[in-house]
Structure 1
């Protein structure tokens, strides 16, 4: 999961501008309360007005392309993602994801929040928690930060996108429930009563992989758990996770994790 680092609320007076910096090392989320903020990242420029949220990359050049022409109040949050992340081009939101079989957090680069007053309150509470050094405050600010991400994750979806998400999640649920069995695209199509190409397009849009790739990644993850939690043979683990042949399982596992199953088990159990 992405994790919170620091946050605050800042006021710029007319003539002030956003700092010029490169490779900050953390994601920078900006939310405008009042006024107008002119921010650029590399060759992209945005003029942010009240209710706008923008997320800047940790590995790029950020700067102001124009000073503020009025008093501007905005919240900023620095956060980081321990797992892999990617920024997609065009209208699709970027993705903060762990392994492929898990839920992918999809947040837009820029969006207008539907509930700006609620967001202002969450940001205020987040800043207050960030000032405290108590143990409870640590969990408080992490939870409030994740609430923000949840708002953005749910807010980007148009009615058309919701249909794709629903279908992708239905397909994923079926694959997870039946991963020990052989599941073809035709079988999945019959179960969901939808065309194979449409299911594939929905899963690719939501999870970044096809149904068969999703099934493979999920099976491999279950194999990881069994390698760590049991003393079963590699052959039994392969069978329990839906692989018909042990050598085939071992090759796929090594390609996915960078090490064969036995080495994986020794690494995480000794």
Structure 2
């Protein structure tokens, strides 16, 4: 399996420049060393033969390769036929690293046990990891080609801030397309089951929990669902639902003046006392105390 580039956002990756290169038969991608920026190659036609630090890649139509900024890359063979490829330079301004294996879903998530699904401070920016395949067959190659073409069409207007901003937005779409190719390749049946269960629980969080109703809704046995959610999210369906309800309650505590009893009912708790004890156990303070942290009383 190809290496995976993992980076932490924010900050988001930053687009530098791009273009479309055509090569005749025998043409080669230039050899360079430590250029200081990532180089994305997306082949639209033909084949490129590019190596990096002793590892050789055959990049055919609909495939993409990311060359690292800290390595030596080179062409080890000329194109057999006419070829055309998009190139794009970008920079990661935050932390990044190269890993050999795509983490399981549970390892890609923030530690919900200690922080909940939301940050303790609802206005704090919570970092997250993004994973990009260094070499991949694109899941949506035509959409990638169209996005790169639109991005390149703005190169003549980069003296305008609006064009630069549009290029950055298009580049984020390219990052998402690359990430989607990696996820599609590594999405296991257990992950798919757990994701379906999570979507159902979030849509029906106000309703009483029923393992059998959940199983019927997503067409999996409740025991299998519980196993999948534990492997992916590190908790049972009921625990996942409880944490989601608490996070919805946190939003209502900040956005409304409703009494705690009404909020408990709104997020699916039958008893306000159970809501308060659950909230206190997970957040470390009672609902009223949580609200007071963000209240301003006019004196």
Normalised by the length of structure 1, the TM-score is: 0.63
The higher radius of gyration belongs to: 2
> In structure 2, how many angstroms separate the alpha carbons of the residues matched to 1:234 and 1:132?
53
**Once the two structures are superposed, what CA deviation does each residue of 1:197-247 show, in whole Å capped at 9, x if it has no partner?**
432455467767653443234223312321221012344323432343313
Determine the structure 2 residue equivalent to 1:171: 197
Determine the structure 2 residue equivalent to 1:122: 147
> In structure 1, how many angstroms separate the alpha carbons of the residues matched to 2:251 and 2:142?
43
For the structure 1 residues 260 and 87, does the alpha-carbon distance in structure 2 shift closer, same or farther, using more than 3 Å as the test?
farther
1:248 to 273, 278, 295: 278
Determine the structure 1 residue equivalent to 2:18: 9
RMSD: 4.8
Preserved CA contact (<8 Å) 1:189 1:196: yes
Residues 1:113 and 2:120 are matched in the alignment: no
For the structure 1 residues 101 and 154, does the alpha-carbon distance in structure 2 shift closer, same or farther, using more than 3 Å as the test?
farther
For the structure 1 residues 137 and 212, does the alpha-carbon distance in structure 2 shift closer, same or farther, using more than 3 Å as the test?
farther
Preserved CA contact (<8 Å) 1:32 1:53: yes
Normalised by the length of structure 2, the TM-score is: 0.58
CA-CA distance at 1:114 after TM superposition: 4.4
Preserved CA contact (<8 Å) 2:133 2:182: no
Determine the structure 2 residue equivalent to 1:188: 214
**Once the two structures are superposed, what CA deviation does each residue of 1:141-160 show, in whole Å capped at 9, x if it has no partner?**
34423432443344345599
Write out aligned runs for 1:1-270 (5 A): 3-9=12-18, 14-19=30-35, 28=38, 30-33=40-43, 35-39=48-52, 46-50=55-59, 51-54=63-66, 63-65=70-72, 67-69=74-76, 74-78=87-91, 90-91=101-102, 107-110=131-134, 111-116=136-141, 118-129=143-154, 132=158, 134-156=160-182, 161=187, 167-200=193-226, 202-203=228-229, 210-243=236-269, 244-254=274-284, 261-266=290-295
CA-CA distance at 1:5 after TM superposition: 2.0
How many pairs does the alignment contain? 246
User: What runs of 5+ residues in structure 1 fail to find an aligned partner?
Assistant: 57-61
For the structure 1 residues 173 and 91, does the alpha-carbon distance in structure 2 shift closer, same or farther, using more than 3 Å as the test?
closer
Matched residue SS, 2:294: helix
User: What runs of 5+ residues in structure 2 fail to find an aligned partner?
Assistant: 1-8, 22-27, 79-84, 119-127
